C-alpha cells in the first residue's frame, strides 16, 4: 500500500499540488472575500482559472481524480454564506411560503412583514438581506423553482444554514447529472469525453452555482437530459425534463421551435404540446387569477429597468445620449424590442438550420443564447454558465473565454455608487468578440456555425 501511494505521488505530484492550491483559493473565496474587494477577487479568480486549465491539461484522462476534485471544490462552499449574490435570501423566503401552503406569487415580502399574518422564521433578517428591490416585488422565479426552494427549506430544518446546505447538495447532484449525461452526449457526437471538465471544473460554474446558489445547474441538467433522450429517439419522455427545465428558468423556452426540424413537423408539434402541458402542470399548484399580472410585472423589470454588464446596449445608450435621449426612456423601449429580435432569430434558425443532427441543434441553442446575451441590457455572470455547457458540444470555445473575463463585471460592486467601469467592460467584450471572430475566421466565416452532418 505505501508503495502504491508513493508511486501515485511520483506520477501525479504536480496535479496534486495544483489541487491543494485550488482548494486553498476556493476556501479563501468562500470564507474570506467580500464583494467590494474587486482586486482580490480578480486575482483569486484568474489564478483558479489558470489552475483549472493546468489540471485538465495534466489529468484530462484521469476521470476519477478530476471528478473527485470537482466534487471536493464544491463541498468547500458547503457552510459558506454566498458573498457575491443575495438572491438566496429570496429563495429561502419563497421556500418558507411554499411549505406553509402559501402562494409565493401572491405576497410582497414587505407586506407580510408589516401585517404579521404569516409567520416566517427569521423574517426580518431575510427581508433586510434580500435588499429593497426584491422585498418590494412579487417573486419572479418559475413554478418548479418554487418547489425546489420549498424542498430545500424543508430538508434544511427551516433555518438559513440548513437551507443553504440543502440547496448545495441539490445543486451538486445536478452537476453530477450534467457530468454523467454530458459524457454520454460527447461520446455520441464523437467528441472527447474530457471536454465535460471545462464545465465541471470551471471556476465560474463552481463559484456561481455551488457558491452563490444559482439554479442554472438544475435547469441545465434537465435540458441536457432532454437533449440526450431526443438523441435516443425517446422524445415523448424528453418532454418531461424539458418542461421542468423551462419551469426552473425560462431561458430554454426559446429553444422549443428548434425541435420542429429535429423531430419533424408532426412529432415536433406533439413534442412542443407535451412540453407546454408539462409546464402548465407545474403551474397548477400556484395558479391564481392574479398570478399572471403579478408574475409578469416582476419579470418585466429585468427587460425594462435593469442594466448590468451589457455590450450592444451600452453602445446604443452612448449613441442615444448624444441625441439627448434619457437612459430610463431608452431602456424601456430597448427592452420591448429585444424579445422580437430574438424571436426573429429563433425563426430563422428553425427554418434554415439543419437541426436534425444533435450537434447542429445544440449549436443553434448556442447561437440563440449568444445573440440574446449580446443584445441584453443585463448579463449577470451566472447567465453565461449555459453557454459554457453548450459550447463543449460544439466547435466553439469563445464562451470559455467569456467565463474567464466576466469576473470584470463585478467591478461595479467596488464602487459605492454601483457604477460600472466602461473600460473593463470594453476589455471583457473585446476579448470575447475577438476570440469569436478568430474562431469564425479559422472556420471560414459564419457558415461554420452550421456543422456538417
- What single string gives the DSSP state of each residue in 65-126? HHHHHHHHHHHTTTTPPPSS--HHHHHHHHHHHHHTT--TTS--HHHHHHH--S--TTHHHH
Number of DSSP helices (H) and strands (E) in the chain, helices first: 22, 0
C-alpha to C-alpha distances, 384 to 28, 37, 111, 309, nearest whole angstrom: 23, 22, 34, 12
C-alpha to C-alpha distances, 414 to 37, 42, 274, 411, nearest whole angstrom: 6, 12, 46, 5
- In the chain, what are the domain boundaries? 306-453
Contact 62, 70 (CB under 8 A): no
Grid cell listed for 114: 408589516
Nearest-angstrom CA–CA distance, 241 and 222: 5
Residue 262 pLDDT: 93
Q: What is the pLDDT along the chain (453 residues), one digit of tens a residue?
A: 566 777 777 777 888 899 999 999 999 999 999 999 999 999 999 999 999 999 999 998 899 999 999 999 999 999 999 999 999 999 999 999 999 999 999 988 988 888 767 888 888 899 989 888 888 888 989 999 999 999 999 999 888 999 999 999 999 999 999 999 999 999 999 999 999 999 999 999 999 999 999 999 999 999 999 999 999 999 999 999 999 999 999 999 999 999 999 999 999 999 999 999 999 999 999 988 888 888 888 777 766 677 899 999 988 888 887 776 777 677 778 888 888 999 999 999 999 888 889 999 999 999 999 999 999 999 999 999 999 999 999 999 999 999 999 999 999 998 887 889 999 999 999 999 999 999 998 876 555 455 444
Grid cell listed for 102: 402559501
Nearest-angstrom CA–CA distance, 205 and 178: 12
Helix (H, G, I), strand (E, B) or coil at 50: helix
Residue 451 pLDDT: 46
Bridge partners, residue 378, by sequence: 308
Residue partners of 418: CB distance under 8 A and separation at least 6 = 412
Q: Given the C-alpha cell 426580518, which residue does it identify? A: 124
**Burial (0-12, 13-18, 19+ Cβ within 10 Å), 268:** buried
Contact 441, 447 (CB under 8 A): no
Amino acid at each position: 500500500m505505501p508503495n502504491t501511494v508513493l508511486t501515485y505521488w511520483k506520477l501525479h505530484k504536480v496535479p496534486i499540488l495544483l489541487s491543494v492550491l485550488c482548494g486553498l483559493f476556493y476556501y479563501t473565496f468562500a470564507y474570506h472575500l467580500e464583494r467590494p474587494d474587486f482586486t482580490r477577487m480578480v486575482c483569486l479568480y484568474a489564478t483558479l482559472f489558470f489552475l483549472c486549465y493546468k489540471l485538465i491539461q495534466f489529468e484530462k484522462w484521469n476521470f476519477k481524480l478530476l471528478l473527485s476534485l470537482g466534487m471536493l471544490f464544491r463541498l468547500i462552499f458547503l457552510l459558506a454564506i454566498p458573498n457575491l449574490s443575495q438572491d438566496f435570501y429570496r429563495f429561502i423566503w419563497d421556500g418558507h411560503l411554499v411549505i406553509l401552503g402559501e402562494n409565493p406569487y401572491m405576497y410582497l415580502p414587505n407586506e407580510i412583514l408589516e401585517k404579521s399574518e404569516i409567520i416566517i422564521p427569521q423574517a426580518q433578517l431575510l427581508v433586510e438581506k434580500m435588499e429593497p428591490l426584491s422585498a418590494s416585488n412579487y417573486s419572479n422565479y418559475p413554478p418548479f423553482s418554487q418547489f425546489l426552494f420549498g424542498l430545500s427549506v424543508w430538508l434544511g430544518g427551516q433555518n438559513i444554514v440548513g437551507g443553504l446546505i440543502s440547496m448545495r447538495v441539490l445543486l451538486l447532484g445536478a452537476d453530477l447529472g450534467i457530468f454523467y449525461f454530458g459524457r454520454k452526449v460527447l461520446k455520441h457526437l464523437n467528441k472527447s469525453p474530457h471536454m465535460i471538465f471545462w464545465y465541471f471544473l470551471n471556476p465560474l460554474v463552481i463559484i456561481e452555482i455551488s457558491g452563490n446558489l444559482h439554479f442554472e445547474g438544475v435547469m441545465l441538467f434537465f435540458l441536457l437530459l432532454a437533449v440526450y433522450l431526443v438523441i435516443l429517439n425517446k422524445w415523448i419522455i424528453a418532454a418531461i425534463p424539458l418542461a421542468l427545465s423551462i419551469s426552473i428558468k425560462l431561458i430554454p423556452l426559446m429553444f422549443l421551435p428548434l425541435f420542429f426540424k429535429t423531430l419533424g413537423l408532426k412529432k415536433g408539434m406533439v413534442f412542443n404540446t407535451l412540453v407546454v402541458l408539462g409546464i402548465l402542470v407545474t403551474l397548477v399548484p400556484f395558479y391564481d387569477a392574479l398570478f399572471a399580472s403579478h408574475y409578469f410585472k416582476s419579470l418585466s423589470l429585468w427587460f425594462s429597468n435593469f442594466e448590468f454588464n451589457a455590450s450592444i446596449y451600452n453602445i446604443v445608450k452612448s449613441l442615444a445620449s448624444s441625441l439627448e435621449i434619457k437612459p430610463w426612456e431608452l431602456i424601456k423601449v430597448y427592452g420591448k424590442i429585444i424579445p422580437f429580435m430574438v424571436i426573429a432569430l429563433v425563426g430563422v434558425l428553425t427554418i434554415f438550420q439543419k437541426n436534425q443532427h444533435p450537434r447542429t441543434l445544440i449549436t443553434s441553442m448556442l447561437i440563440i443564447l449568444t445573440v440574446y446575451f449580446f443584445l441584453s441590457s443585463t448579463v449577470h455572470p451566472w447567465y453565461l454558465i449555459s453557454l459554457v455547457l453548450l459550447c463543449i458540444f460544439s466547435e466553439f470555445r469563445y464562451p470559455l473565454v467569456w467565463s474567464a473575463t466576466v469576473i470584470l463585471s463585478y467591478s461595479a460592486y467596488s464602487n459605492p455608487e454601483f457604477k460600472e467601469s466602461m473600460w473593463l467592460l470594453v476589455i471583457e467584450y473585446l476579448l470575447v468578440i475577438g476570440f469569436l471572430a478568430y474562431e469564425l475566421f479559422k472556420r471560414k466565416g459564419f457558415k461554420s456555425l452550421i456543422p456538417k452532418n
